[in-house]
Amino acid sequence: MNFDQQLFDYVVNAARDFEENLNTRRVTPDAEGLKSLDRFNEPLSQTGEAAISVIKMLNEIGEPGVVSSRGGRYYGFVTGGALPAAVAANWLAASWDQNAGPMVMSPTAAKIEEVAGTWVLDLLDLPRQSGFGFVTGATMAGFTALSAARNRQYKNLGYDLKADGIRNAPKMRFIMSEEIHPTNIIALQYMGYGKNELEFVPCDTEGRIKVDQIPTLDDHCIILLQAGNVNSGAYDDFNAVCDLALGTGAWVHVDAAFGGWVRASRTRAHLTNGMERADSWSLDCHKWLNVPHDSAISICRDAGTLQDMFGVRAAYLVEGAAREPNHHTPELSRRARGIEIWAALKFLGRDGFADLIERTCDYAKYFASELEKMGIEILNDVVINQVVATMDEGKLDQFIKTVQMDGKTWFGPTHWQGRKGFRISISSHATTDRDIEIALSSIRAAL
């Protein structure tokens, strides 16, 4: 197929129009925009259509149904707004269409991902010798790290999991707080463990694991901790738990999906003290790093842990002395998602990323104080970018619906400490003072 100038010009113009109108369009689609999506319901054509026709239809019908999560007033689900530099890198990487599997398939992707992963370790002051792999999101990052951890724990016990399987393996215990994010439970279910097999430890009122109620640890244990509770933003006491694990042979994993990035902050890094002592970490990059979906990184202190679990050997796979990306993730073939991570870090630098963390956390504190002035109750200690609030429960659902229908901002419901409420998560580089005031005005109008 020949290069289609008209097609690429149209895409560039459509993307530019979307970018230019991002701060003025509705945050969520209106009824008309949602209804128009039904136009996609058509039979598959026999002969196909011109590419420009396909893309025009995609934009004209699809764009009105798009959620403006890249903008500055989307406060749901701890969602970052992709940085322009990261979006541009994503476009270029898509044009290159590289498979970040064996290094020989894309030396550029392999090198950039090696640099990006090294930068993440440096930025977050994690052990520099750690191994890392780029995956789709925190669920897969947790699955990747925990699968590798289990394999290493069995290896230390003298059991070859990859050869002899899970059915005859010694029992492995997975210990976590009652407030652990459900994606970790899902990851363990992928690994063959039912929820009733897991050991849950009570938490305090901010969702932090109660260290004094952690059962005795040994070399048959993997304990999961959290850097940033998805509601309160609270951090487990990493030092205390790592002290318990020290010398027992237990493995410590930290779900650092969004809260782990606070290690790069100037004023809040202390919240993560001791996190560096863990054995593995999972981090989302499409949250606070503000790269396009789907993007996350799985990290293990011992670089060989990931390779032992995911290393692929086949007669047709050519290997060299360089780092092989496919030995660090479950996939042999995948897109080169590390390119956007490299672009985001290169663009922001240490200071720019620290500013992003500080600014969004400060906005959360301000948001909470303004909500209190409206008579809304704040349910958590606002330590980072998370605000959990509530009001008269008889009015709560309608209040949330009214704000969402207004289209100026978006947040969703939650439950916290047995109470219904709503959650504000401010994670986007695009959020400005004006965005915060517009969102607060929408809330006032809905009361």
**Which residues pair with residue 388 across a beta bridge?**
423
* Burial letters 260-288, b for 16+ CB under 10 A, else e: bbbbbbeebbebbebbbbbbbbbbbbbbb
Q: What is residue 307's predicted lDDT score, i.e. its pLDDT? A: 93
pLDDT tens by residue, 399-428: 999 999 999 999 999 999 999 999 999 999
CATH of domain 88-344: 3.40.640.10
Q: How far apart are CA 35 and CA 185, in angstroms?
A: 36
Indicate the average pLDDT of the chain. Answer: 96
Report the DSSP pairing between strands 412-416 and 386-390. Answer: unpaired
Instruction: Give the phi and the psi of residue 226 in degrees, each rounded to 5.
Output: -125, 135
* Per-residue confidence band for 3, with pLDDT thresholds at 50, 70 and 90: confident
Q: What is the mean pLDDT of residues 145-173?
A: 97
* Per-residue confidence band for 324, with pLDDT thresholds at 50, 70 and 90: confident
Instruction: Give the phi and the psi of residue 200 in degrees, each rounded to 5.
Output: -110, 135
Which among 113, 105, 110 is positioned nearest to 317, based on CA atoms?
Answer: 105
Q: Which long-range contacts (CB under 8 A, 24 or more apart) does 184-192 make?
A: 184/142, 184/146, 184/224, 184/255, 186/139, 187/139, 187/140, 187/142, 187/143, 187/146, 188/146, 190/143, 191/143, 191/146, 191/147, 191/150, 192/166
* Burial letters 153-171, b for 16+ CB under 10 A, else e: bbbeeeeebeeeeeeeeee
Looking at residue 303, its amino acid is A
pTM to 2 decimal places: 0.95
Q: Where are the domains of the chain?
A: 5-68, 88-344
- Does residue 72 contact residue 81 with C-beta atoms inside 8 Å? yes
Which among 208, 204, 205 is positioned nearest to 180, based on CA atoms?
Answer: 208
Supply the Cα-derived Rg of the chain in whole angstroms. 23
pLDDT tens by residue, 18-37: 999 999 999 999 999 999 99
Q: What is residue 325's predicted lDDT score, i.e. its pLDDT? A: 87
Q: What is the mean pLDDT of residues 312-339?
A: 79
- Does residue 329 contact residue 134 with C-beta atoms inside 8 Å? yes
pLDDT tens by residue, 102-157: 888 899 999 999 999 999 999 999 999 999 999 999 999 999 999 999 999 999 99
Tokens 């750690």 locate to: 130
Q: How far apart are CA 341 and CA 326, in angstroms?
A: 18
Q: What is the mean pLDDT of residues 353-377?
A: 98
How far from 88 is each of 253, 289, 388, CA to CA, in Å? 33, 15, 34
Q: How far apart are CA 255 and CA 445, in angstroms?
A: 37
Which among 66, 143, 159, 125 is positioned nearest to 273, based on CA atoms?
Answer: 125
Q: What is the mean pLDDT of residues 367-377?
A: 98
**Residue 321 predicted with pLDDT over 60:** no
CB atoms within 10 A of CB 213: 10
* Per-residue confidence band for 318, with pLDDT thresholds at 50, 70 and 90: low
Q: What is the mean pLDDT of residues 264-292?
A: 98
**Residue 320 predicted with pLDDT over 90:** no
Q: How far apart are CA 125 and CA 134, in angstroms?
A: 18
pLDDT tens by residue, 284-310: 999 999 999 999 999 999 999 999 999
Burial of 3 (0-12, 13-18, 19+ CB in 10 A): exposed
Q: What is the mean pLDDT of residues 308-336?
A: 79
Residue 57, classed as helix, strand or coil, is helix
CA atoms within 13 A on the CB side of 77: 11
CB atoms within 10 A of CB 139: 20
Which among 386, 430, 402 is positioned nearest to 25, based on CA atoms?
Answer: 430
Q: How far apart are CA 179 and CA 226, in angstroms?
A: 9
**Residue 314 predicted with pLDDT over 60:** no
Q: How far apart are CA 282 and CA 296, in angstroms?
A: 8
**Residue 246 predicted with pLDDT over 90:** yes
Q: How far apart are CA 379 and CA 417, in angstroms?
A: 9
pLDDT tens by residue, 184-240: 999 999 999 999 999 999 999 999 999 999 999 999 999 999 999 999 999 999 999
Q: How far apart are CA 145 and CA 253, in angstroms?
A: 8
